[in-house]
A and B are shown apart, each in its own frame.
Chain A
Amino acid sequence: DQQVKQNSPSLSVQEGRISILNCDYTNSMFDYFLWYKKYPAEGPTFLISISSIKDKNEDGRFTVFLNKSAKHLSLHIVPSQPGDSAVYFCAASAEYTNAGKSTFGDGTTLTVKP
């Protein structure tokens, strides 16, 4: 049973518009959520995170929203830029474990068209 799901394998948006990437989880013990960005032939790099005590965290163009009752989180990128084209992974950690021991979704490939 996959505990972290990213149901959209791909997303294409126009430069300057909003990108919304979604993630669902099933394990109610998860209390820390992260988004990583991955370019081809590179390792994932940390983008933004949110703990379960919050429902929103913002960092520049990136905002993560958490809906605990729905076990759903989303990443908003505004405005989207061509350099944002990458694979985005949602990851979750359970209470008292470290973010190096996370459960990952399968990723969403974002393409931002100029």
Chain B
Amino acid sequence: GQNIDQPTEMTATEGAIVQINCTYQTSGFNGLFWYQQHAGEAPTFLSYNVLDGLEEKGRFSSFLSRSKGYSYLLLKELQMKDSASYLCAVPRDNYGQNFVFGPGTRLSVLP
């Protein structure tokens, strides 16, 4: 089966860097997604990793280690608008036909 763990809450200061971790166990692997979800709103896509290493996209980067079942999302130059929940998700099977989502990490950015 699949299982995904993320820290429940994190707090950081505006302008700082924060790393949000995600560990997973899956029967197969077909990539890992990160989504951002502001309170009361829909999740929106942030990043996708299928190979080991770091993918950089502006202030946000995502890292994957398949051998360790581990990913992290790195947010740089934090802004107040980055206060949100961050969800990691993996496909439920090797065909990527549907997904298992982690419980999400709620990030609060303080002034």
Is A bound to B? no
> Which B residues form the contact surface with A (CB < 8 A)?
none
> Which A residues form the contact surface with B (CB < 8 A)?
none
